[in-house]
Every structure is written in C-alpha cells, then in structure tokens.
Amino acid sequence: MIQYAYLVPLISFLGFPLCLLFGRRTWEKGGGIAIVLVGLSLILSIPAGMEAIEGKEFLIKLNWMGLVGFSGIYVDGAAGLMLIAVSWVSFLIVMFSLGYMHEDPGRPRYYALICLFIGAMQLFVISLDMVTMFVAWEIMGFCSYALIGFWYERMPAMRGSLKAFLTTRIGDVFLLAAMLLVYLNLGTLNIVRINSSPPQLSRSLVTMISIFMLIGAIGKSSQIPLWGWLWEAMEGPTTVSALIHAATMVNAGVYLMARMFPFISSSNTALLATSYVGGLTAFLAATLAFTEYDIKRVLAYSTISQLGYMLLAIGLGGVGRGVFHLLSHSSFKALLFLCSGAVLHATLDTRDMRKLGGLWRSMKLTAMAMLVGSLSLAGIPPFSGFFSKGLVIETAAVNGDTVLYLLAAITSALTAFYIFRMWFMTFFGWRERPPEEFHVHEAPKIMLIPLYALVATTVALSFLGEDVMVQVSSAMGYLSSKYSEGVVEIGKAVALVSRVRIPKLLIEPITLTLAVMGLALATYMYYISRPPDLTRTFLFKLLDEKYGTDIFCYGLAALFREHLSPFMIWFDRKIVDGVVNALGREFLILGDYMRRIHTGVVQDYVEILALGIVLLLLLMLL
C-alpha cells in the first residue's frame, strides 16, 4: 500500500471543492463529506505508514513546469509515522467538529478549509523536495489565516488571523531564501540530496542556510521572538486550535528541522541556536501561563513551550526524542483542546476560568479525559508525556550544558503547575455550582468518542514510546550501535557553558520530583485553599504583558508607520514612479521624432538607406 501513499493528501484535498460546491446539500452541511474523505485518507495512511515503518521506502519524481526532480513524493519510516499521526488526530478532530459546529451557518466553508488544511500537512510530511514542501507550507499558512478568522464578524478574530498571517510570513521569507541559496550552490532542492551534501559547501554557507531554515521554523512553530501570533490564534473555533496545535501548522516547523537535520548538523552554530531558542521558549512560554485566565490561551502557551522542548532536543542531536515528543504531544494536546471545546460548548463559549468552576458534577467524563491529558502534559507516569518529555530533559542533561538542562528541568515543574491550575479552576474553582444560565451538560457522544479515542492513544503511546522513538531515529538514519537510544553525540561540541554533572540515574527521579512539586503546589493553591491576589505585583504585570512582546511589536509597527512609511511613499512616488514616467516621456519624444521621419516619399527612404550603408562602412574601416 505504500505505493498509494500519494493518494492520502489528494483524498483530503478533494474535500475542499466538494464541501464548497455541495456542502449545503449534504448531511451536517459538509461534515459528512469531510468525515468520509478524511476517514478514507486515514484508512489508506495506516497500511502505507506501517510498511514505511517496517523499512520499505517509496519515491516518485514528478515534473513541474518541465523541471525534472522539482517535485515528488518520498515516504520513509519517519514520514510514515507522521502520516499516521496527522491523519489519526485530524480524523478525530473532524469527528468532534460534527458536534461542536452543529449549528454554525458557515459549516461548508469550515469543512472545506479543514480538508485543505489536513491535506497540506499530509503533503508536507511526504514531500521529496523543498518546492513541494514549501507549497504545502504556504497552503497551511493560508488555511490558518482563514480558519483563525473564521468568525470574521468578530474584530478579535480578524486581528488574530492577520497577525498570524503577517508574523509567519517573516519566517517564510527566510525559508525561501534558504531554498534559493541551496539551489544556487547545489543545483537541487531534493531533500535526500541536500542532506548528503554539506561537505560540498563551506561551513559559513551551511550555517547561513541552516539559520535561515531555523527562522522559518521559528515563525511556523511560534518560537521566540516570532511567538506572539499563536495566542492570538485562539479566536477561531476550538477545533481549529486543536488542529493547528496538534496535527498541522505548528508541527511543521519542528518536522522541517528534523527532516533537514543531516544538513543542519554540519553547523555547530546552527545547532546551538536551535537548542537555545527551544530552551528559552520552553521556559518563557510556561511562565506566561501563570497569569492567564483564558483556558484556550493557557493551552496555547503550553504548545509554544512544548514545541520549544522539541527544538531543544533536535538542536542537541536527539532527533528521535524530539520527534517522539512531537507524536506524544499531538495526542494529549488534541485531547486537551477538544476537552476545552467541550467546556466552551457547555458554558456559552465562556473562556475565562474565573467564571467557570463547579463543572465537575455535570461534566465528569470530560473532566476525567482532561485529567489524563493534564497528567501527560505534566510528565506524570504512566502517561506518554512522562516518557517523551523525560527523554528530552535527559538529552539536555547528557548532550547539553547546565543552562539548557536547568531551563528544561524547571519548565517541567512550571508545566505541571499551570496545567493543574487550569484544571482545578475549570472544574472546581471557587464555585460550588456553575451559573444557571450556562445549562451545563456533558458533551454529546459524537464529541466524547474522539476524546476517549485520544485518551486511549495517549495511554498506548506510554507503552509503545521507546519503540516509537527508536523507529523514528532508525528511519531517519541516526542510529548506530554506539547511540542506540537515538541521541547523536553532536551536541557535546556546541555547549556555551559547563556540562551538567548529574549522574544519569538521577535525571529521571529529579524530573519526576519537580513535576510532582508543581502539581502539589497547584493542588494546594487552587483546590485546598484560595490563591493569593498577585495582580498588583511587578512580576504579574510583567507576565501579563508577555514580557513586553506585544508592546515592542506594536511600537515597532508604529515606528515604521510614522517614520519609514512616509519615506517609502516619497521614494515610490518620486524615485520609482519618477524614473518610470521619465522613461515614458523620453520614449514618447523619440516616437514623435521617428514618426516625422516616415514621410512616405521614396527618395527620402533611399537617402536614409544610403546614409546607413555609409555609416556601416565607416564602422568596418575603423
């Protein structure tokens, strides 16, 4: 079945025109079309992905505008794993949407964009070359813009979609620059060839290209400093947030860095930058969740933080571990977002956790499902997050330096604190009962089935985790007899400060202890007692202002608008338009002169011909 893997994204893409053209005349206004097509792509992706995991590979080279090898499909073990994960999580999100979007009048447009979004990520995963990858990358950018602003009549949704579109474009420009540099120097954009080519290029050029790829990943995966768009993206439907955070969009940046790792690993500078961007983002994003009361934004900060963990692992050579955490995170983050969607569905779209609380009595099934996701994210055994995040922290301890390890370890405690702060405030809080106007009820079966399917996935990954990680590492060619755990020793050459001096046997107990401490503190502050009022403290205000990120960005935009824009307008009108208009006037004058030469008199033409012959003879004699 691996030879039919190219049909997986095509089937999903087919949902885009079908939902737009026929959605209003079908069951659930296009939802029936979407669930059938995404389900078919899942059915096809499972055997294709399993064959790839077992060691088979499949490659198709296509011609694009007559350029051989500029487009193609390549399915190996890593692509197979990602293809199954993307298709499975996406299918469950579409199923959940049937209940969540039940009464929305824009369902045909919603399901059309969802199918296009899913197909783009599936195509991105199995791309052979960077051209195909970039096309899928840009389709996802468009879909995220359209879906974040799905409720376009709401001003916050319009602002969020525009901010997401413009911010991610910054990263896209750098990724395109990396592609141009690769093609100019190697004459190919084939990923397999690029990964085998670093010795042909100078170290400085490899570093430049790798840094440009990293900036592309930073934009797509919402890392510092291009991280502000992801928390604004919460203005779209919760199912869209789940899709962006768990199955598509933000995972693309991490997957790009993992896919291109053989090339990037030739530059210690790029690896160091990748690991520090990931480590700092993981820590800073986790702190932002402390002062957030919007349930969806808490999960957004969590996604940014966990993506930082993945880049940290990749930068330190633990590619298999980073991708394993990506797969693990996809399941429990989709679970958490869909649980929050069930809460919003039952509380008139109330996102402020201070207005929730007391939901436990009426939503026990949702609360228990969210508890599983929270425990996994917090890194509590036996759930998958404990193993995947623990392996990332171990990579930081073994291959990283003291700063990176401390960032990773402390973030583990912060994560456990903020996610259980969210869980207790949502289902218990200070209210014994929710407000009567909410009419709180348990989610319908069409929404509960995906929740518990994701619970089962999270639990299953707990038992299959080590095998999955080894399969990823082996498929990407990083395993050897010496590094059978999927960690490359490359990280030991790129530390900024001193090495971690903790015995390997103590790393896991320390990580678990920190996570339990965070959980215990959240339990005490938000369940046993009532939290203190810290809103007037400097630290609270600093975190509430996102470390001044938005203030800086808006100030920079205002600076450009007030000072640079007038200059650019003057330059465009006076210089660019002036040169074009001047050329136009000169050609008009020349045309007027040439018109006068054409008299219609044969003798005049003969004289001009003779004059031309004389001039040619003179030029030949000189």
Q: Please, are residues 261 and 476 in contact by the beta-carbon 8 Å criterion?
A: yes
How high is the pLDDT of residue 553? 76
* Average model confidence (pLDDT) across the chain: 87
How high is the pLDDT of residue 133? 93
Angle between helices 445-475 and 364-378 (to 10 degrees): 20
How high is the pLDDT of residue 475? 60
Q: Please, are residues 31 and 107 in contact by the beta-carbon 8 Å criterion?
A: yes
CB within 8 Å of 102: residues ≥ 6 apart? 28
The reply to whether omega before 382 is within 30° of 0 (cis) is: yes
How high is the pLDDT of residue 534? 75
- Give the distance from CA 114 to its chain's centroid: 15
Average pLDDT over residues 11-37: 93
How high is the pLDDT of residue 144? 94
Distances from the Cα of 556 to the Cα of 83, 172, 615, angstroms: 40, 20, 61
H or E element that contains 67: strand 67-75
Q: Is the pLDDT of residue 210 over 90?
A: yes
Q: Is the pLDDT of residue 443 over 50?
A: yes
CB within 8 Å of 311: residues ≥ 6 apart? 217, 221, 223, 254, 257, 274, 275, 277, 278, 281, 322
How high is the pLDDT of residue 470? 67
How high is the pLDDT of residue 501? 79
Q: Is the pLDDT of residue 527 over 70?
A: yes
Task: Give residue 489's pLDDT band: very low, low, confident or very high (50, 70, 90).
Answer: very low
Does residue 499 or residue 261 have the better pLDDT? 261
Q: Is the pLDDT of residue 64 over 70?
A: no
CB within 8 Å of 8: residues ≥ 6 apart? 41, 44, 45, 48, 83, 87, 122, 126
Task: Give residue 432's pLDDT band: very low, low, confident or very high (50, 70, 90).
Answer: low
Q: Is the pLDDT of residue 452 over 90?
A: yes
d(CA 596, CA 520): 94
| 284 CB-side CA count, 13 A | 19
Average pLDDT over residues 231-252: 91
d(CA 162, CA 152): 11
d(CA 24, CA 9): 23
Q: What is the DSSP string of 286-339?
A: HHHGGG--BHHHHHHHHHHHHHHHHHHHHHTT-HHHHHHHHHHHHHHHHHHHHH
Task: Give residue 69's pLDDT band: very low, low, confident or very high (50, 70, 90).
Answer: low
How high is the pLDDT of residue 565? 83
156-160, 372-376, 600-604, range with the lowest pLDDT: 600-604
CB within 8 Å of 382: residues ≥ 6 apart? 459, 462
Q: Is the pLDDT of residue 521 over 80?
A: yes
Closest CA to 191 of 201, 199, 183: 183
Q: Is the pLDDT of residue 4 over 50?
A: yes
Task: Give residue 505's pLDDT band: very low, low, confident or very high (50, 70, 90).
Answer: confident
Structure confidence by residue, pLDDT tens digits, 37-55 = 999 999 999 999 888 888 7
What percent of the chain is modeled with pLDDT above 70?
A: 93
d(CA 375, CA 416): 8
How high is the pLDDT of residue 490? 46
Structure confidence by residue, pLDDT tens digits, 472-482 = 666 655 433 33
Phi, psi of 104 (to 5 degrees): -75, 130
d(CA 252, CA 258): 10
- Print burial letters for 409-445: b (CB count within 10 Å at least 16), e (below 16): bbbbbbbbbbbbbbbbbbbbbeeeebeeebebeebee
Structure confidence by residue, pLDDT tens digits, 294-340 = 999 999 999 999 999 999 999 988 888 888 899 999 999 999 999 99
Q: Is the pLDDT of residue 145 over 60?
A: yes
Answering whether pTM is above 0.85, one says yes
How high is the pLDDT of residue 161? 93
d(CA 589, CA 363): 81
Q: Is the pLDDT of residue 219 over 60?
A: yes
Residue whose tokens read 């399915």: 75
Q: Is the pLDDT of residue 545 over 90?
A: no
Average pLDDT over residues 174-178: 96
Query: How big, in percent rounded to 5, are the helix, strand and coil portions of the chain?
Result: 75, 5, 20
